[in-house]
């Protein structure tokens, strides 16, 4: 498989897992005023989705896609986690607006995925 295609697939699969974990995270849910949602199945599915791609890439010794997966996930995970409640104040520099819009979109997609699963 093309190395870049392998990286993209690995990133998308693991990002789905990250979105599920973010959806499930109890502390995050409290901050959003959402009721607790503890689904062991969802939690397990999330971790499988996160860990499967790197294990596959590691087994195939695809070092470049593995590093890209790690790098992309650390940025994407941050973007997912950055989504704030609407009442949060704008930052002093006001640098967050594009990021907030993007994270809100990602979180909506995450919720849709979670509902389907």
Partner 1 sequence: MSFLDQKKTKRLFAIHGWSGIALGVLLYVIVLTGAVAVFAHEIGVWSVGGAANDKGLTQPVDRIIRGLADKVDPKYRDDVGAYTVESGALSVFFHTHETKPNGDIGDRGVRFLVDPATGSVLSRAEGWSSDIYGQDQASALKRFLIDLHVQLYLPSPWGLILTGILGLAMMVAATSGLIMHRHILKDIFVAPRPGNLLLHARDRHVLAGTWGLPFAFLLAFTGSFLSFAFTIGMPIVSMSAFGGDKMLVGEILGGHAQTEDKTPAVVTNLDAVLADGQQRAGSAPTYIHVGHWGRADAKVGVWFEPPAGDLGFLQLGFNGVSGAFEGQKPRVGSKPSFGATASSVLTALHYGLFAGLLSKIIWLSLGLASCYVILTGMVMWFTRRREDPAWAPWTRMVPAIGYGLPLAMLVSAHFYFQAIGRSDTATWTPWGFALATLAVIAAAVAMSDRVELTRRLVLATAISAGLLPLARMMAGGRSWGEAVAIGEPVVVSIDLLLLIAAAALTWHWKGSPQPQWLRRRLAAAAQPEPAE
- Least distance in Å: CB of 31 to partner 1? 6
Q: How far is the CB of 7 from partner 1 (least distance, A)?
A: 6
Pick the closer one to partner 1 by CB: 35 or 94.
Answer: 94
In angstroms, give the least distance from the CB of 70 to partner 1. 7
The angle at the Cα of 70, spanning 65 to 73, to the nearest 5 degrees, equals 115
* Of residues 25 and 39, the one with the C-beta less far from partner 1: 25
Q: Nearer to partner 1 by C-beta: 31 or 48?
A: 31
d(CA 23, CA 30): 11
For partner 1, the closer CB: 44 or 97: 97
Tokens matching residue 107: 């979180």
In terms of DSSP H, where are the helices of the chain? 3-24, 26-31, 40-59, 63-81, 97-116
Task: Say how many C-beta atoms besides its own lie within 10 A of residue 69's C-beta.
Answer: 24
Do the Cβ atoms of 22 and 107 come closer than 8 Å? yes
Query: Which parts of this chain interact with partner 1 (CB under 8 A)?
Result: 2-4, 6-8, 21-22, 25, 27-28, 31-32, 61-65, 67-68, 70-72, 74-75, 77-78, 80-85, 87-98
Chain centroid offset of residue 111 CA: 11
- The least distance separating partner 1 from the CB of residue 41, rounded to whole angstroms, comes to 19
């Amino acid at each position: 498989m093309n190395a870049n295609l392998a990286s993209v697939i690995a990133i998308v699969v693991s990002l789905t897992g990250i979105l599920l974990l973010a959806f499930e995270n109890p502390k995050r849910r409290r901050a959003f005023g959402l009721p607790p949602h503890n689904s062991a199945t969802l939690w397990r599915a999330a971790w499988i989705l996160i860990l499967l791609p790197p294990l596959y890439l590691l087994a195939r010794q695809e070092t470049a896609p593995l590093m890209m997966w790690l790098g992309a996930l650390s940025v994407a995970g941050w973007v997912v986690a950055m989504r704030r409640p609407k009442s949060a104040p704008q930052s002093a520099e006001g640098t967050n607006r594009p990021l907030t819009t993007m994270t809100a979109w990602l979180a909506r997609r995450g919720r849709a995925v979670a509902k389907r699963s």
